[in-house]
Structure 1
C-alpha cells in the first residue's frame, strides 16, 4: 500500500505542477485586420496584429476533505443499451415466401434471398423491384463484399457449395465446396466465415480455397453470422448467442431461450451492440457489447411475423428486419 500511496502522491504533484506552470492551458492565435488593408498596397505600413489568446484548461485538480486529489475532466455521455431507440422509416414488400437473408448495397438498395423460390431480389430504395437473380439452387444466406462488389450466397442443406456472384455482370464467378451444410456467412480479409451447422464454424480462404474448422460445435441451423472488428457472433444450437474472436476463442455466451425462440437473424452495429431475431418468438432483442445486458426492441405489435433476416447498415445507422414473407421494415437507430 505504501508504494501505491507514494506513486499517487508523485502523480498528484506532477499534475499540480502542470497546472501551476500553465502547461495545460489552451492557446489560440487569431488575426485582426487593420483599416489600412483597404487602401492601396503602397500605402500599407501595417498589415495587422497577431493575437495570442491563452485560456485556462478545463482540467481541475480538487482535494475534498482530505481525500486523495483527483483530476476532474469534462464528462462525455457514453451510450448504453437503454439509449438504443428504433424509429420506423419505411415498410417494403418482399418477393417470395421464405426470406432467409438480407443485405444492403452501398447506394442503399436492398438484397433479399428467398430459400423456397431459389431467388435473389434487389429492391430500389423506394421499395420497387430492380432486378432478380436465380442462382440455380436454394438460396439461404447472403453477404455483400463491398470492396470486390461480389455477393456470397449459401444454399443451406441442399448442396455443400457456396456461390460467388459478380454483381456488376450478375454472373456466377465461382463455386466453393465448403464440405458441409452452409447457412450464415460473413467476409473479412479474404476469408469467409460460415455456419456449417453440425460442421461448426468454418473458415474458407478465397485465395487458396482451403477450409478449416474454427469452432467444433453444432450451430443453429438456418441462422446467420455477424462480424464486427475482430469478433464473430453466432447462434448456438440451444439459441444461445456466442461471441468469439477470429481464432475461435469464446469471449462470452448468453442464453436467451426465455426471450428468443428459434433465433435466426443476427447483426451488429458499429458500437458492438448485437441484434437478434426470434423466429417463433416474433421479436428482436438487442444485446450489449459485453453480453451482460439485453432487452426486447421489437415484437408482434410492431408487425413482426416470423422474422428471419436482419442487417445493420453501419454507415447510415439503419436496421433492416425481414419477416419470412410479405414485409420488411427499415428502422432508424438512435446513436
Structure 2
C-alpha cells in the first residue's frame, strides 16, 4: 500500500490497464458476413427522427462499415469528421485511420506514438493526446505529417481546441490550458474525480468521467452536474452541438446520452436498436450539423443529422 502511494503514475497506468481489459470484456456478437465488406447504407427508417425530450432530433443520414486495406481487426476509441474525411483512432495502434465519409479511400497515417484522444484545430489540422507517452501531436492530415510535438511531464487524456488554445485533461485531475506550442497559459483544478474526456464550447467546458457529466464555466466554477444511476458507469467520449446540448457515449448500455445546455433535461437519444454496439467515439460537426458516432467493436460509423 505504501509503495502505491509513493507511485501515483503507476496507479494511473494500472487503472488504464484495467479499463482496457474491461473494454475487451464487454460482450459483442460476431460480425456477420454482410458487415465484412464495405457498405454504404442510407436507411429508410432514417426518414423518421428519433424522439427525445430535448429540443433536438437526430435522424440517421448514413451508416458506413469500413474495410481497412491492412485487414487488421481494429477497435475504435475516438473519431472526428473533417469536411468529407473521417478520422478514427484505434486501440493500441500508432497511426490515424482516415477515409472518406462514404467509407472509400481507407488508409492510415503512421505516428511515432499511440493516440488516444483527438480534437479539430482546423479543417486540415488535428491535435491528438498520446496518453501513456505523455505527448500531444499536431498533425496535418492533408500532408500526413506531424507538424508539432508537445512533450508533457504527466499523462494527458481528453483534449479540446477552442479560441487558439488547447484544453487538456492532465492526470485525470486538472485541466491545462496551453497554446499550440505547448506553453502553459493557466491551470484549472477539476472538481470532478478522474476526468477522462473534455470538450470546450463558448464560455464553458464539459468534462466526463465513467459515471457523470460535469459542465463548468471557463474559470472552473461548476455550472451543472449530471448523474443517473440508470446508466452503467462507462461514459467514454463527449461532444457539444452549436446550441450547447451535450452528447456522451455510454459503452456498456449501448446508448448516446444527451443533456440539454442548461443541464435540466436528459435523454437516451440513440440505442442498440439504432445499430449502436459499444459506442465509443463521438463528434459533432458544426459546419453541417452532423453527429458522428463510431462503434468500438465493429468497423462501423454512423452519421446523424441534428435538428432543433
Q: Calculate the TM-score normalised by the size of structure 2.
A: 0.75
> Residue in 2 aligned with 1:170?
144
Structure 1: gaps (5+ residues): 1-79
Tell me the distance in 1 between the aligned counterparts of 2:151 and 2:104.
34
Secondary structure at the aligned position of 1:301 is classed as helix
Task: List, as ranges, runs of 4+ consecutive aligned residues in structure 1 with deviation greater than 6 Å.
Answer: none
Q: 1:234 aligns with which of 207, 210, 216?
A: 207
Q: 2:274 aligns with which of 302, 305, 309?
A: 302
Output one character per residue of 1:3-46: Cα deviation in whole Å (capped at 9) or x when no partner.
xxxxxxxxxxxxxxxxxxxxxxxxxxxxxxxxxxxxxxxxxxxx
Tell me the distance in 1 between the aligned counterparts of 2:54 and 2:163.
33
Contact 1:180/1:196 (<8 A) preserved:
yes
Q: 1:121 aligns with which of 87, 91, 97?
A: 97
Number of matched residues?
A: 251
Contact 2:158/2:168 (<8 A) preserved:
yes
Contact 2:94/2:111 (<8 A) preserved:
yes
Output one character per residue of 1:59-97: Cα deviation in whole Å (capped at 9) or x when no partner.
xxxxxxxxxxxxxxxxxxxxx944422221111224552
Q: Work out which structure has the larger RCO, using CA pairs closer than 8 Å and 6 or more positions apart in sequence.
A: 2
Q: Calculate the TM-score normalised by the size of structure 1.
A: 0.69
Q: 1:136 aligns with which of 109, 112, 115?
A: 112
Output one character per residue of 1:265-293: Cα deviation in whole Å (capped at 9) or x when no partner.
11111111111110112110110111011
Q: 1:205 to 1:299 in 2, by over 3 A?
A: same
1:133-212 alignment, distance < 5 Å: 133-146=109-122, 149-156=124-131, 158-207=132-181, 209-210=183-184, 212=186
Structure 2: gaps (5+ residues): 1-51
Question: Radius of gyration: which is bigger?
Answer: 1
> Residue in 2 aligned with 1:32?
none
Deviates more, 1:173-182 or 1:195-204: 195-204
> Residue in 1 aligned with 2:217?
245
Contact 1:220/1:239 (<8 A) preserved:
no
Contact 2:157/2:172 (<8 A) preserved:
no
1:1-335 alignment, distance < 5 Å: 81-94=53-66, 95=68, 97-105=74-82, 107-146=83-122, 149-156=124-131, 158-207=132-181, 209-210=183-184, 212-217=186-191, 220=194, 223-236=196-209, 239-325=211-297, 326-335=299-308
Contact 1:232/1:246 (<8 A) preserved:
yes
